[in-house]
Amino acid sequence: MRLLIYRLGSLGDTVIALPSFRLIRARHPDAEIVVLTNLPVSGKAAAIAAVLENTGLVDRYIPYPVGLRDPAKLVALQRQLTAEKFDRVISLTAARGRLASLRDYLFFRACGIPRIEGIPWRARDLESQSIGGGLYENESARLLRRAGWNEPGEPPGGRDLALTSAERAEAASILASSGIPVPFLAASVGTKSPLNDWGTAHWRALLTQLGGDFPEHGIVLLGSPDESERSAELARAWPGPSANLCGRLTPRVSAALLAQARLFIGHDSGPLHLAVAAGASVVGIYSARCRPGQWFPTGPRVTILYPHAFFDLHRMEDLAHQRAALDSITVEAVAHAAKSCLSRAPSSTFEPTP
């Protein structure tokens, strides 16, 4: 069988979808699985291939030009998919409304694919729904449902990245050559959107405080190349060994490094989701730009600080509102969460801020 998965996105989007990829491969172990995806997404984002490499979940990729509007390119893509003679397509792309769902359905039908699954039509698939307790359904769970999973929790393997011994050895070598002893902390201070940025002053104060409390720890800063200068500046606030590795590691080697960290602290971004998949203890600093719970990673050692009082569906793109929301998350609150993660037994925590 030849199976096509339609999934656009970058690093965090791919990690969120990992359980769905695992489910599809488990149900179709002998199929040729091809992903229609954007390659690359942007200068900041990692391609799906960079995350799924070595997992065995996907056999190859077909590039989908982002913002496809050129009729000639659309026709060329339609002809290519038609020639591939896929037996089934499963859509895992983000819900963009019923009109976009209809366009996707008609396009895949025009490609001659007889079975089309996962297209979001129902309200609960088009938009994250409230599940009570001030939370909304997790995006990973919503994708799993579209992929045909109707059981509680996630399928076996979940977000296992299947890191290789070579990737782990490379991460250990980089730590050693960077002068970072174990134990160490990791952080990512960048974000693709200023709406999610906690701010340089907050980060500097946090690293200064934690560095004073844990002088025996080193710190590693991860992120994209354009976050290197800011990370280098903030690394100077750490009294112990520090390494600015922004732009130097592949996503999978980053995950292998994060698997050795005592704690990761970061914004709602790709590195945070990668840290969760790697099994690290995580403290996430979230703006109110997303529905609470929708993009929260799940795991045994995850603490999310979310400004619940600022949640407003009509102000998610309001920079001033999101700035106020992030400012409500104090350095003391993040430091307390970090110290709790470093001292307590593994647990899963949701901590709304006032």
323-352 per-position pLDDT tens digit: 999 999 999 999 999 999 998 644 444 444
Instruction: Give per-residue pLDDT as tens, 216-243.
Output: 999 999 999 999 999 999 999 999 999 9
Could you give phi then psi for residue 153, rounded to 5 degrees?
75, -155
In this predicted structure, what is the pLDDT of residue 351?
A: 43
Beta bridge partners of 267: 285
Q: Which residue has the higher pLDDT, 75 or 113?
A: 113
Instruction: Give per-residue pLDDT as tens, 300-319.
Output: 789 999 999 999 999 999 99
In this predicted structure, what is the pLDDT of residue 157?
A: 83
Predicted confidence (pLDDT) at residue 41 exceeds the cutoff of 70: no
Predicted confidence (pLDDT) at residue 42 exceeds the cutoff of 60: no
Predicted confidence (pLDDT) at residue 295 exceeds the cutoff of 70: yes
Domains of the chain: 2-146 (3.40.50), 165-352 (3.40.50.2000)
- Please report which confidence band the pLDDT of residue 67 belongs to, taking 50, 70 and 90 as the band edges: low
Beta bridge partners of 2: 32
Predicted confidence (pLDDT) at residue 159 exceeds the cutoff of 90: no
Span 251-277, average pLDDT? 96
- Please report which confidence band the pLDDT of residue 354 belongs to, taking 50, 70 and 90 as the band edges: very low
In this predicted structure, what is the pLDDT of residue 305?
A: 97
Q: What is the average pLDDT score of the chain? A: 91
3-state per-residue secondary structure call for the chain: CEEEEECCCCHHHHHHHHHHHHHHHHHCCCCEEEEEECCCCCCCCCCHHHHHCCCCCCCEEEECCCCCCCHHHHHHHHHHHHHHCCCEEEECCCCCCHHHHHHHHHHHHHCCCCEEECCCCCHHHHCCCEEECCEECCHHHHHHHHCCCCCCCCCCCCCCCCCCHHHHHHHHHHHHHCCCCCCEEEEECCCCCHHHCCCHHHHHHHHHHHHHHCCCCEEEECCCHHHHHHHHHHHCCCCCCEEECCCCCCHHHHHHHHCCCCEEEEECCHHHHHHHHHCCCEEEECCCCCCCCCCCCCCCCEEEEECHHHCCCCCCCCHHHHHHHHHCCCHHHHHHHHHHHHHCCCCCEEEECC
Q: Which residue has the higher pLDDT, 57 or 9?
A: 57
The amino acid sitting at 312 is D
Total number of residues shown for the chain: 354
Q: What angle do CA 114, 116, 120 make, to 5 degrees?
A: 160
What global pTM score does this model have? Answer: 0.91
In our burial notation (b when 16+ CB lie closer than 10 A, e otherwise), range 273-288 reads bbbbbbbbbbbbbbbb
Cβ–Cβ < 8 Å for 298, 140? yes
Burial class (CB in 10 A: 0-12, 13-18, 19+), 173: exposed
